[in-house]
Amino acid sequence: MRAGIVGGGRGAFIGRVHRMAAELDGQALIVAGSLSSSPQIAAESAREWCLERSYDSYVEMARAEASMSDGIDFVIVATPNNLHYPVAKAFLERGIPVVCDKPLAHTFDDAEALVDLVSRTGLVFALTHTYTGYPMVREARERVVHGQIGEIRKVLVEYHQDWLMHPLEQMGNKQAAWRTDPILAGASGCVGDIGTHAANLLEFITGRRILQLCADLSTHVSGRRLDDDAQMLLRLEGGGKGVLSCSQVACGDENELSIRIYGSSAGLEWHQHEANSLWFKGAGKSWQRLRTAGDEISTDGAAASRLPSGHPEGYLEAFANIYRAAIDDIRRCARDEPLQRQYPTVEDGLRGMRFIARAVESSQQGGQWLTL
């Protein structure tokens, strides 16, 4: 399958990750791209990646690829948040499926428009909430679905980083600059960038939606224009409670994503830094360390592994699992078969946008409870 990419040129982190993940299973090859808004960087980046076709703009790229007989089969959107919607729109309107970075869009209105567009076109649209691709995250969901933990009572989900603990955006760091700029990132910094991953992970594993939240957002670094830390109380569908904490100023925490779920008959615990283990804590029993590809793993959990038990798998492989499912659906779509949507969808993206908006609003009201 031939893929194209918008964004992700030199200096970007996530572009290369998209490439490796998309190509890992030998099912897709990126052949075309509009890798930067700067034509020169775009061209140079394309050369480094050995792309067959490089474009100066995504508009041109969408038009050209759609008209070729061997044009791209799907496009990857890896731009700053403000461009997610226009880029996705340009390709969808020309019949090209989209794999898009999160959050879904820059504003809630854009997000709703995108949901409409995807629905109208019937095309595949996958959102790269990468963390749902980890084998043990899949396993956790399987265990919840099959009633192994009983009724969900309490969930603690956290996503802590520290890379923004200093005002990097005032020191020429491009990644920091757009992520802390309301024009490019949207209404929120930390909640939009990583809190939304945490919320998605919670809903993905538990299958319970967040009904209400009470949020306290902070901007700890002086001069910063968006939040860099947030903590929230959550109330879940079905009566469970939750806590969500996210931070980009949590000194010493590289990229600590974790979730702990307490049910009426068992608990589950997963930490990204030990991604190949899932702790299962049955009532009155010892903790069990479930392992990727181990003998006790469900079909669904095992399918997400590429290696035998004991060979560490990581972030790229999780990312590639999102791609694998999207590519499968793109094939199904081409054969007019029903889609299976084993990846985060445009609707998940819309929920994420609503989550961001409500969190910001709750905090602005001094920490009031709001309904999602």
Q: Nearest approach, Cβ of 236 to a second copy (angstroms)? A: 11
Q: Is 89 in the site for a second copy (CB under 8 A)?
A: no
Of 231, 298, 321, 342, which one interacts with a second copy (CB under 8 A)? Answer: 231
User: Which residues are CB-neighbours of 96 under 8 A, at least 6 positions away?
Assistant: 4, 62, 65, 66, 71, 72, 73, 74, 75, 123
Residues 115-134 that bind a second copy (CB under 8 A): none
Q: Is 295 in the site for a second copy (CB under 8 A)?
A: yes
Of 10, 53, 153, 332, which one interacts with a second copy (CB under 8 A)? Answer: 153
Q: Is 252 in the site for a second copy (CB under 8 A)?
A: yes
Of 36, 132, 258, 272, which one interacts with a second copy (CB under 8 A)? Answer: 272
**The dihedral sign for the CA sequence 290, 295, 296, 297:** positive
User: Which residues are CB-neighbours of 187 under 8 A, at least 6 positions away?
Assistant: 107, 226, 356, 357, 360
| Residues near a second copy (CB under 8 A), total | 86
Of 251, 299, 336, 371, which one interacts with a second copy (CB under 8 A)? Answer: 251
Per the CB < 8 A criterion, the answer to whether 346 and 125 are in contact is yes
Stretch that binds a second copy, among 16-24, 54-62, 82-90, 337-345 (CB under 8 A): 16-24
Q: Is 223 in the site for a second copy (CB under 8 A)?
A: no
Stretch that binds a second copy, among 112-120, 156-164, 179-187, 192-200 (CB under 8 A): 156-164
d(CA 156, CA 31): 42
Q: What is the DSSP string of 310-324?
A: TS---HHHHHHHHHH
Residues 157-216 that bind a second copy (CB under 8 A): 158, 161-163, 165-166, 214, 216
From the list 201, 202, 196, the residue with the least C-alpha distance to 215 is: 196
Q: Is 358 in the site for a second copy (CB under 8 A)?
A: no
d(CA 303, CA 318): 11
Single-letter amino acid code for the residue at 193: D
